[in-house]
Amino acid sequence: MQEAEVVAFLEKNPDFFTRHQGLLEELTIPHPNTGKAISLLEHQVMLLRTSTADFKAQFERLVDVARENEAIMKKSRRLVLKCLTCQDLDDFVAAVSESMAEDFQVHYQSLVLFRDEPLDGAVRTAPWRDAEPILKAMLSKQGCYCGVLSVRESEFLFIDDSDRVMSSAILPLISHEGGQLVYHGVLALGSNRLNHFDKDKGSLFLDFLSDLLSAMVLRLLR
């Protein structure tokens, strides 16, 4: 009898070993690590233990992610509540800077609003015609940008701190007007750690934050 015939027979008779349970104790296969012959039952127990360990590790990872997401949402809530009490853009910048430094360990922030005329206070503005050629590549991506900036991008956004920023998250401040996407500015967050902002980690939280902060900035601009 050929090997394929044995396989075909067992596939057609899945209850074969139920009717011949003694064979289970006699059949042996090599241990995957030692090569020592072990019974089929021992092999099944070993596979079950491995599967259980894998499921446990996966469950623990999910729990860790859930805890991390819960912590992020609590920090985001504190940030939003702070920003809701802001009376002007200077208050807004101070609230964002404080929250990012204390809750998110992000010590470099830069808010740039796209306007031809400067605003009262310390908020930085830049004409869109000047900002667009520099930021076009990252703003063309859907949602927030995470990763390493070019020298030109970093110098435009972080100015004197550009040499210290190793990775960045760029949150567009946008609105939809007449079916068109309008860019009102960007909030740039910088870290001195290369992988702090990583595109492979996803940007769902940052996109959520971008939408909230966009609405708040527009309220203060009116």
In one-letter notation, the amino acid at residue 55 is F
pTM over 0.85: no
pLDDT digits (tens, 9 = 90+) for 189-222: 999 998 888 877 777 888 989 999 999 999 998 8
Higher-scoring residue by pLDDT: 200, 155: 155
State how beta strands 145-147 and 37-39 pair. unpaired
Which CATH number does 87-221 carry? Answer: 3.30.450.40
Mean pLDDT of the chain: 86
Q: Could you tell me if 169 and 189 are in contact, meaning their C-beta atoms sit under 8 angstroms apart?
A: yes
DSSP assignment string, 16-82:
HHHH-THHHHH-EEE-TTT--EEEHHHHHHHHHHHHHHHHHHHHHHHHHHHHHHHHHHHHHHHHHHH
Max CA separation in the chain (angstroms): 91
| Torsions phi, psi for 143 (to 5 deg) | 80, -155
Check if the beta carbon of residue 145 is closer than 8 Å to that of residue 210. Answer: no
pLDDT of residue 47: 73
Pull the structure tokens for residue 113: 């609003």
pLDDT at 56: 84
Vertex 26 angle, CA 20 and 32, to 5°: 120
Contacts of 43 (CB under 8 A, 6+ apart): 29
Encode pLDDT of 62-115 as tens digits.
887 788 888 888 988 999 899 999 999 999 999 999 999 999 889 899 999 999
Distance of CA 212 to the CA centre of its chain: 17
The C-alpha angle 115, 119, 123, rounded to 5 degrees, equals 90
**Domain locations in the chain as residue ranges:** 17-84, 87-221
Cα(4)–Cα(6) distance, rounded to whole angstroms? 5
Residue 22, number of CB atoms within 10 A of its CB = 8
* Mean pLDDT lowest among 16-20, 56-60, 119-123, 215-219: 16-20
